[in-house]
Structure 1
Amino acid sequence: METIFNPLVGGLLIGLTATIYLLTMGKVIGISGILSQFLFSKERLLPFLFIAGLIIGGSAYGLLTEQTVAFPETRSPILLIISGLLVGYGTRLGGGCTSGHGVCGISRLSPRSIVATLIFMATAIFTVAIAH
């Protein structure tokens, strides 16, 4: 039951959060947009609170359920920085990140978001197939 319950509750909470954000802020929620707003805008409090809530909420859930995330191997810090910059560039190039397009865009039946999400998924499947 826990295997079905956790993703279901998580998905409902993500949908609820996206709905509340759209209704209160008038914007589609997307992590890259919120991070960009935090880094480059004068309005930093709300983006900071949102990002802090993601970190605190995820950490609290892990602690309360005694779940840990094990990283299989050590990664090069240089490779991580380059990867992060490429992801940031990709979100700008794609007009948003997977959370913005996948959660909010598809729910609003945005053709651009549907295409973007299909490309994200195809790229991920291709990458996993090559890596394994």
Structure 2
Amino acid sequence: MTEFTPLLSFGGGVLIGLAAVALMAVHGRIAGINGIVSGFLTTQLNQDWAWRAAFLAGMVASPLIFLGLSGQLPEISIPSSPLLLVVGGFLTGVGTTFGSGCTSGHGVCGMSRLSGRSIVATMTFMMTAAITVYLTRHVFGG
């Protein structure tokens, strides 16, 4: 069962929201990780590449900041096989391509701008996640 961590979850949500607002305020860009990574991989070394690199470095460094503040790294347990992780990653990539964005772009930034497309996308991936959890935990016995 998943541990209930309301304070850490709230803090993480606040930081994600602040990062999204800061990126929009400073660069006029939406904090969709899919778009940030694809732009990072395809953009030449310039100012656009620099903010993308800084954003991604912040995502990678955040567990180390957590370690410095709490004295321990977050515990991560992945009860799935490596094959399922690869398949899940592939399906996520396909979904973000056909859905024109990822959960962070649609769920955090798109919905806050009242984008109809983002609202539908967010409802779709939340419903899919709920069905997947139900099937995994209650039907297939995972």
Please confirm whether the aligned pair reaches a TM-score higher than 0.5, indicating the same fold: yes
What are the ranges of 5 or more consecutive residues in structure 2 without an aligned counterpart? 138-142
Separation (CA, whole Å) in 2 of partners of 1:121 and 1:67: 28
Query: Paired residue for 1:35?
Result: 37
1:15 to 14, 17, 22: 17
Deviation digits for residues 70-109 of structure 1 (CA, Å, limit 9, x no counterpart):
3244622x54334323211211110110001010111111
2:75 to 69, 73, 83: 69
Give every structure 1 segment of 4 or more consecutive aligned residues whose post-TM-superposition deviation is greater than 6 Å: none
Query: Paired residue for 2:126?
Result: 121
Q: Say whether 1:88 aligns with 2:93.
A: yes
For residues 31 and 23 of structure 1, do their structure 2 counterparts lie closer, same or farther at Cα, with a shift above 3 Å needed?
same
TM-score (norm 2): 0.79
- Alignment RMSD, CA only? 2.0
For residues 127 and 63 of structure 1, do their structure 2 counterparts lie closer, same or farther at Cα, with a shift above 3 Å needed?
farther
What are the ranges of 5 or more consecutive residues in structure 1 without an aligned counterpart? none
Identity of aligned residues (%): 42
Secondary structure class of the residue paired with 1:68: coil
Paired residues, number:
129
Deviation of 1:42 after TM superposition, in Å, equals 1.8
